[in-house]
């Protein structure tokens, strides 16, 4: 009958069955197909990296929309994961120098593959943001989507997130929920140029506390910005010495 698709081969049928089984076991569809779209670009994803969320695209727009930037801009993306933020910034501003870091060697390998696939020359570094051995810059922009979900929030999370996505990229302890923001604030004091910008995704439950932390470290114009869903999701602040 005209218009009907040809029947699946035995191998194709097995692949479909395997995909269905993976989906039924709460594996995210992005991991099953091995890719997702972020800021208009395709990125490979796997269980070593967090699946990029659509709201995080706003961090890219915030970075490329900053006012009064110098002609030569240097960007650091901390806790890069799949590299989606850094690579998307580079695609939008190819003249900028973009560096990204992560503690996970597996995530960095994925990020490098994504940069190559998207033809975006990005520098990657194996770095623990919580250590004292951090790149000195200087940077005009530091951007980050670090772990920020508190352990006590796990009970309300969907199984496909809790069981499948990397906890290293998601969770912080209830005792130190702002540990990564404190590290970023201190790193920025040493590595941001005068007038440089700090842009971070945050836990909406801790938006006021996170903004206060940056202000206490000497950052100015600390602004809480809502995401597409109306959640207090980002902080933008500036470092003036």
Per-residue pLDDT of the chain (241 residues; tens, 9 = 90+): 455 656 656 565 555 556 555 565 667 788 889 899 999 999 999 999 999 999 999 999 999 999 989 889 999 999 999 999 999 999 999 999 999 999 999 999 999 999 999 999 999 999 999 998 899 889 999 999 999 999 999 988 888 788 888 898 999 999 999 999 999 999 999 999 999 999 999 999 999 999 999 999 999 999 999 999 999 999 999 998 7
The token pair that represents 211 in the structure block: 């903004």
* Rounded-to-integer distance, Cα 98 and Cα 50, Å: 20
* Rounded-to-integer distance, Cα 45 and Cα 30, Å: 7
DSSP 144-155: E----EEGGGGG
In a domain, 148, yes or no: yes
In a domain, 40, yes or no: no
State pTM to two decimals.
Answer: 0.90
- Location of structure tokens 């069981």: 163
3-state secondary structure of 98: strand
**Neighbour-count burial for 137-168, b at 16+ CB within 10 Å, e otherwise:** bebbbbbbbbbbbbeebeeeeeebebebbbeb
* Rounded-to-integer distance, Cα 142 and Cα 74, Å: 9
In a domain, 8, yes or no: no
Q: How many CB atoms lie within 10 A of CB 229?
A: 9
Which structural domain, as residue segments, surrounds residue 153? 47-239
CATH number, domain of 118, equals 3.40.50.150
Number of domains in the chain: 1
């Amino acid at each position: 009958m005209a218009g009907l698709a040809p029947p699946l081969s035995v191998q194709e049928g097995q692949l479909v069955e395997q995909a269905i089984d993976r989906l039924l076991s709460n594996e995210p569809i992005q991991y099953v197909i091995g890719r997702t779209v972020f800021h208009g670009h395709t990125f490979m994803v796997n269980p070593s990296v967090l699946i990029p969320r659509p709201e995080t695209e706003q961090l890219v727009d915030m970075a490329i929309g900053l006012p009064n930037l110098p002609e030569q801009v240097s960007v650091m993306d901390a806790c890069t994961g799949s590299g989606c933020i850094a690579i998307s910034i580079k695609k939008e501003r190819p003249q900028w120098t973009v560096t990204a870091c992560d503690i996970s060697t597996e995530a960095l390998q994925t990020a490098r593959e994504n940069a190559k696939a998207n033809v975006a020359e990005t520098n990657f570094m194996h770095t623990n943001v919580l250590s004292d051995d951090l790149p000195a810059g200087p940077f005009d922009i530091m951007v980050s989507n670090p772990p920020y979900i508190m352990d006590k929030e796990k009970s309300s999370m969907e199984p496909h997130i809790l069981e499948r996505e990397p906890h290293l990229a998601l969770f912080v302890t209830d005792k130190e929920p702002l540990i990564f923001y404190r590290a970023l604030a201190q790193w920025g004091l040493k590595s941001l140029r005068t007038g440089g910008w700090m842009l971070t995704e945050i836990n909406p439950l801790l938006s006021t506390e996170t903004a206060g932390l940056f202000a206490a470290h000497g950052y100015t114009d600390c602004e809480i910005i809502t995401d597409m869903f109306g959640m207090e999701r980002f902080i933008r602040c500036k470092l003036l010495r």
